A = this chain, B = another copy of it.
């Protein structure tokens, strides 16, 4: 944790001279942060214990251990780099460096990065990038083992989604790193083949792409390729975020930290998706939709249910922090009933909720599950992060470009720009590079980009095309950020995953990946 504190202090000084123009870029644990409002769910020590009857304490302990393990691996990198810095002119530097890397990072440095250190010093950015990619690879390799203690204990599994009438959950959070732990932590929802995450700056997902993905799943359902999905629905969820500590500065950068604007824009896309499918495949074909909001300082959830006509309302939602506070002293049963009553009242207030079959309020049941699950995350932040995250701003370690990383989902671990081409996704990438300018580049460190694409092993040639796409995107990134590339600060690697799990974030050697000529 020492490293962590040093890092924060360093960021603070690095960020102090940045202009403040309403765009939330760069971690800013400044004075105001320390005078932030108390956690609205519960203030520990203020006459309350903050031990909610519906919280799964054992699950929280397992998730904490996981968070510390994964964060520890990434935080060790800067610590090791600082040690190397102090020793780079020693005669036995190479041996020391390799020993440190083996002990602390479970990797080795390429000799070319070390052997000339005695002449001109080491290239810190290159070492940092090498260690980062090695750590990502290690986390993916160990993911099953690391997550085993909590994976099956998460209260929302694929079977639970099915029980709420959902065969596919398609989630578009903001690209912001603070939302990258959304599924396992905030929603306590297990990753599975039924769950897809596509992050976009401002949660402004691609309607045409989503129509295509809905179409694919719908045809899989109709052709029997999704066993048990008869009568079940596709659910599209958009997730906006805001900061209760610094609403004007640490909200969503893509919407200029203007929360109301973020909500309206997300609702507009969700309505457009429904209209597109209804207009194309007939009234009633549209997927279900839901809007979620996350206070990224507290990981507290807001749930906007669609009314009976499928319309979402910006100002009508269920608030998990409020429900936590209201049910804190109750028995588990009473708390359950209280939440259920709140959901039922909300649905009545909306005049009913969107369903395929009348009377089957699967979405309301899912809202209740997610709110109940989120109580554990609210308490997690209260107990393990002092009621409010210490770093309420950006603190990502790398940028993930392309498809999501289901095996590595943790708050502020990476900024995620879902894209197929830089040409289409440039605006999302620019926000990420701006964040890393503050976090890393101004300090002389790297701009690390993992370019990751998922392919279907059922489609001949798809793996090779995914690799070619990766290299094409890297080339476009190098052209767009030539300023950093020319200084040797832009470090990009390509990795591919099979949609059906046979290969997971496999790093691709540049030499192997040259597009085949005809």
Chain A residues within 8 Å of B, Cβ to Cβ = 202, 204, 207-208, 211-212, 215-216, 218-220, 222-225, 254-255, 261, 265, 271-272, 275-276, 279-282, 285, 420-424, 456, 458-462, 465, 472-473, 476, 518
Is the beta-carbon distance between A280 and B215 smaller than 8 angstroms? no
CA of A203 to CA of B447, assembled, Å: 39
User: Nearest-CB distance from A52 to chain B (Å)?
Assistant: 37
Residues of B within 8 A of A473 (CB): 423
Instruction: Please tell me if the beta carbons of A225 and B458 are within 8 angstroms of each other in the complex.
Output: no
A220-B280, A282-B224, A456-B280 are known contacts. Are A265 and B518 too (CB-CB below 8 A)? yes
Closest to A261 in B: B518
New contact pairs (17) apart from A280-B458, A423-B423, CB-CB < 8 Å = A204-B518, A207-B462, A211-B459, A212-B212, A215-B215, A215-B216, A219-B219, A219-B222, A222-B222, A223-B281, A223-B285, A225-B282, A261-B518, A265-B518, A275-B460, A279-B459, A422-B423
| 16 residue pairs bridging A and B, Cβ less than 8 Å apart | A204-B518, A207-B459, A211-B459, A222-B222, A254-B518, A265-B518, A272-B459, A275-B459, A276-B456, A276-B458, A276-B460, A280-B456, A280-B459, A421-B421, A423-B423, A423-B472
A223 touching B282 by the CB < 8 A rule? Answer: yes
Q: Is the CB–CB distance between B272 and A225 below 8 Å?
A: no
- Considering only CB atoms, which chain B residue lies closest to A201 in the complex? B518
List the 9 closest pairs (A to B, CB-CB), nearest first: A279-B458, A276-B459, A272-B460, A421-B423, A423-B423, A421-B421, A223-B281, A280-B458, A219-B219
Asked if B207 and A461 make an inter-chain contact with CB atoms under 8 angstroms apart, the answer reads yes
Q: Given A204-B518, A265-B518, A423-B423, A461–B272 Cβ distance below 8 Å?
A: yes
CB-CB under 8 A from A282, the residues of chain B are: 223-225
A461: chain B residues at CB < 8 Å are 207, 272
In this complex, what residue of B is CB-closest to A222? B222
**Complex Cα–Cα for A202 and B207 (A):** 31
Instruction: Give the docked Cα–Cα distance between A462 and B211 (Å).
Output: 12
Inter-chain contact A218/B219, CB cutoff 8 Å: yes
Complex alpha-carbon distance, A472 and B275, angstroms: 26
A232, B274: Cα distance in complex, Å? 28
Could you tell me the distance in whole angstroms from the C-beta of A460 to the nearest C-beta in chain B? 4
Query: Which residues of chain B come closer than 8 Å to A285, judged between CB atoms?
Result: 223
Complex formed: what's the CA distance from A222 to B265 in Å? 33
Q: Is the CB of A215 within 8 A of B224?
A: no
Q: How far is the CA of A165 from the CA of B223 in the complex (A)?
A: 21
Residues of B within 8 A of A272 (CB): 459-461
Q: What is the minimal beta-carbon distance from A220 to any residue of chain B, in angstroms?
A: 7
Q: How far is the CA of A359 from the CA of B243 in the complex (A)?
A: 66
Choose among B223, B261, B275, B424 the residue that contacts A421 (Cβ–Cβ < 8 A): B424
A465 to B265 alpha-carbon distance, docked (Å): 15
Residues of B within 8 A of A222 (CB): 219, 222
A265: chain B residues at CB < 8 Å are: 518
The smallest C-beta distance from A132 to any residue of chain B, in angstroms, reads 25
CA distance A462 to B223 in the complex (A): 29
- Contact yes or no, A472 B276, CB < 8 A: no
- Known contacts: A255-B518, A282-B224, A421-B421. The answer to whether A208 contacts B462 by CB under 8 A is yes
